[in-house]
Amino acid sequence: MATTLAIVNQKGGVGKTTTAVHLAAGLARSSLRTLLIDLDVQGNASSIFSEEARPELSAFEVFRNREAAADLSSPTRIPELFLLPAVLQLAEVETMLTGAVDGFFRLDEWLGRAGSDFAYVVIDCPPNLGVLPVNALVASDFLVMPLQASRFSLDGIKGMLSTCEIVNKRYNADLSVAGAVMTQFNPRTAIGQAMVEHIEALLPLYATRISRSVAVEEAVVMKQTIFEYQPGGKVAEEYQSLLAEIRDGIEKRPV
Ligand SMILES: Nc1ncnc2c1ncn2[C@@H]1O[C@H](COP(=O)(O)OP(=O)(O)OP(=O)(O)O)[C@@H](O)[C@H]1O
Ligand SMILES: [Mg+2]
């Protein structure tokens, strides 16, 4: 069974998609068969692989059809990396599943059939706390929360963690908080040690910080991961090091 990571934060623009794409690509580069699931109607994660994605096979199928086939995902140009892309119809899921008794379990049930093909599943979530992120939490083993200093609110983090706690108590006893990661980090405007202490009082904070770099934005324009656009660059190394920290934490988790 795959280890599943949900990349969540209800705040927009904090680096969820960039983190999801690079964790998934980094795992695949370590020869671990990985599925990247894009649950955001904006489709930013999918657009990096737009040549490979087959929109008729998308995450929407999982929510529309309880019996969705296990082999929905598409291979990508990165060996061992597979994609379940987002499509615009994902916007309908919220209304579609309102009142459905199994509305929070669709992704979990599909992964029950499809997940055994993969070592890891990484889920990119939209910036809200609606039915799609809750599906991601119900289906996941670990939550990873990207944080950005300038868009940062302790109340937001607390809200996210309390949703996670509810999901953990009621729906998914396997879910645990892996940690938070500072993204788009600029040492010149570093958040103060006091802020770090506030975060660490709520959840573990990874030592690796992802620097702000124009290379990330250039790579997006080129529809490339940073491993392709600037291999050996600072951000590529930081995502590699974050991945090592995350895997280390996962291996140490008590069973
Ligand atoms: N390390 C970085 N350096 C510079 N720019 C970055 C970095 N990480 C992300 N960005 C850029 O910041 C923007 C927001 O990042 P991203 O899309 O990953 O955030 P998000 O949390 O997924 O946003 P949303 O909530 O809208 O889904 C994007 O334009 C992205 O290219
Ligand atoms: Mg995003």
Chain centroid, CA 164 distance in Å: 14
Taking the centre of ligand 1 as the mean of its atom positions, its distance from the CA of residue 196, in whole angstroms, is: 21
Tokens 């892996």 — which residue? 178
Taking the centre of ligand 1 as the mean of its atom positions, its distance from the CA of residue 173, in whole angstroms, is: 31
Token digits for 59? 């995450």
Q: Return the ligand 1 atom nearest residue 19 CA.
A: 18
Question: Which amino acid would we find at residue 203?
Answer: L
Taking the centre of ligand 1 as the mean of its atom positions, its distance from the CA of residue 69, in whole angstroms, is: 32
10 CB near ligand 1 (under 6 Å):
no
Instruction: Report the pLDDT value the prediction gives residue 132, as an integer from 0 to 100.
Output: 97
Instruction: Report the pLDDT value the prediction gives residue 255, as an integer from 0 to 100.
Output: 60
217 CB near ligand 1 (under 6 Å):
yes
29 CB near ligand 1 (under 6 Å):
no
Instruction: Report the pLDDT value the prediction gives residue 234, as an integer from 0 to 100.
Output: 97
184 φψ region: left (φ > 0), alpha (ψ -120 to 50), beta (else): left
Instruction: Report the pLDDT value the prediction gives residue 164, as an integer from 0 to 100.
Output: 96
Protein residue with its CA nearest to atom 17 in ligand 1: 17
Instruction: Report the pLDDT value the prediction gives residue 54, as an integer from 0 to 100.
Output: 80
Instruction: Report the pLDDT value the prediction gives residue 155, as an integer from 0 to 100.
Output: 86
Please give the model's pTM, rounded to 2 decimal places.
0.97
End-to-end CA distance of the chain: 15
Token digits for 67? 């019996």
Protein residue with its CA nearest to atom 7 in ligand 1: 184
Taking the centre of ligand 2 as the mean of its atom positions, its distance from the CA of residue 44, in whole angstroms, is: 6
58 CB near ligand 1 (under 6 Å):
no
Q: Which domains does the chain have, with CATH numbers?
A: 3-245 (3.40.50.300)
Around 23, how many Cα atoms within 13 Å sit in the side-chain half-sphere? 32
Instruction: Report the pLDDT value the prediction gives residue 190, as an integer from 0 to 100.
Output: 59
Protein residue with its CA nearest to atom 31 in ligand 1: 217
Instruction: Report the pLDDT value the prediction gives residue 161, as an integer from 0 to 100.
Output: 96
Taking the centre of ligand 2 as the mean of its atom positions, its distance from the CA of residue 255, in whole angstroms, is: 31
Tokens 């790579």 — which residue? 219
Q: How far, CA to CA in Å, does 104 sit from each of 65, 136, 139, 208, 217? A: 14, 9, 9, 32, 34
Give average pLDDT by consecutive 10-residue segment, the chain, 255 residues: 95 96 98 98 95 86 94 96 96 94 96 96 96 98 93 86 96 97 83 78 95 97 98 97 97 75
Q: How far, CA to CA in Å, does 47 sit from each of 72, 85, 114, 237, 244? A: 17, 9, 23, 23, 26
Instruction: Report the pLDDT value the prediction gives residue 209, as an integer from 0 to 100.
Output: 94
